[in-house]
Amino acid sequence: MDRIESYIASLSKHVQLEPEELEGFKHEIRSHLRESMRALQQEGYSQDESLNIALQRFGEEEKINAEFRKLYRFQKGVKKSLLLASCLLLMLSVLFVLSSRAQTDRDSNDFDNMLHDYHNNLEGKIADSSITNAEMEAYFKNHKRILRGVALLQTENGQKTTEYAYPSDMSLSNPDSEPYIPFPVENNNPAKKLEFRVDLDRSALFSPLPDMMTVSAKVCFVLYWVLFALWNVFNAQRVGRLNLFWGILFFTLNIAGYLIFLLVERVSVGRLKTAM
């Protein structure tokens, strides 16, 4: 059997593999040659004759060497591409999720700040009629990202009039065309009702961007999951361990499946080294 080990050492001399993969590569050739020898011995050949025929059938050493180098170089390139692509897609998925949450939080915070600013700085002044146009204009400018405009409306004897509107070209003719918030203002004159109206910017507060980023994150994560599972499949195939069980495990558990496979492979290689 020393000839088999010498032959395997010669074949694997120029194969660029990780130590664990190299052990699997050697094991695969060793198993193949021994199976061939057993089959030949059952046909009546001696051990030496079986070994010679098995080695001859396996091919000329240099030719096999070259073919294996090409094959493993190609597989290594495919593996590397799959791993890089899966890592990139995972990072993109995380980035999209974080961006979506950041945009949603920004909209929520800006909306809360707008409400807080009104109740703390404008409402009381509107109620006692001490509010100025400059203060309402400043309020709009402070929250311009989410507002289309602000207006102070007065209803007296059933007649509604506009006391103030900013910007000046703000349309109040069709109040249902855009989302808005009416703030009724309590005052001491029951015949006179005041309302501070805030028109919201639909494109800012109701932007489809967070939802689009969430969908993009899901798509990227699914693609990552598939590519990483395929990377696992290539790993198992290269060391001759691929079967239906591992295939299902890789596509269902993903990273956990890979860690289980790695653990089992380490145990197998350890037993193989002990047996040798």
Top pLDDT among 7 and 85 is at 85
Nearest-5° Cα angle at 166, 161 to 167: 125
CA atoms within 13 A on the CB side of 212: 4
In this prediction, residue 193 carries a pLDDT of: 85
Residue 180 tokens, joined? 């808005």
Query: Is 60 exceeded by the pLDDT of residue 17?
Result: yes
Report the interhelical angle of 209-238 vs 19-42 (nearest 10°): 40
Top pLDDT among 219 and 75 is at 219
Residue given tokens 């091919």 in the structure block: 59
Query: Is 80 exceeded by the pLDDT of residue 78?
Result: yes
Per residue in 192-232, pLDDT tens? 788 899 999 988 888 899 999 999 999 999 999 999 999 99
CA distances from 120 to 32, 33, 125 (A): 83, 86, 10
Question: What is the chain's alpha carbon radius of gyration, rounded to the nearest angstrom?
Answer: 37
In this prediction, residue 119 carries a pLDDT of: 93
Out of 81-85, 132-136, 271-275, which region has the weakest mean confidence (pLDDT)?
Answer: 271-275
In this prediction, residue 15 carries a pLDDT of: 62
The confidence band for 96, taking pLDDT boundaries of 50, 70 and 90, is very high
Top pLDDT among 66 and 184 is at 184
Instruction: Walk me through the domains of the chain, giving residue ranges and CATH numbers.
Output: 1-59 (no CATH), 116-205 (3.30.1140)
Top pLDDT among 83 and 171 is at 83
What letter would DSSP give residue 246? H
Taking the C-alpha atoms of residue 185 and residue 154, their distance in angstroms, rounded to an integer, is: 10
Taking the C-alpha atoms of residue 114 and residue 180, their distance in angstroms, rounded to an integer, is: 13
For a pLDDT cut of 70, what percent of the chain falls above it?
86
In this prediction, residue 222 carries a pLDDT of: 97
In this prediction, residue 26 carries a pLDDT of: 78
In this prediction, residue 16 carries a pLDDT of: 62
In this prediction, residue 252 carries a pLDDT of: 94
Out of 57-71, 170-184, 246-260, which region has the weakest mean confidence (pLDDT)?
Answer: 57-71
For a pLDDT cut of 90, what percent of the chain falls above it?
38
Taking the C-alpha atoms of residue 238 and residue 46, their distance in angstroms, rounded to an integer, is: 32
- Mean pLDDT across 156-175: 77
Taking the C-alpha atoms of residue 87 and residue 244, their distance in angstroms, rounded to an integer, is: 25
The confidence band for 63, taking pLDDT boundaries of 50, 70 and 90, is low
Residue given tokens 């088999």 in the structure block: 4
Query: Is 60 exceeded by the pLDDT of residue 61?
Result: no
Terminal CA-CA length for the chain: 12
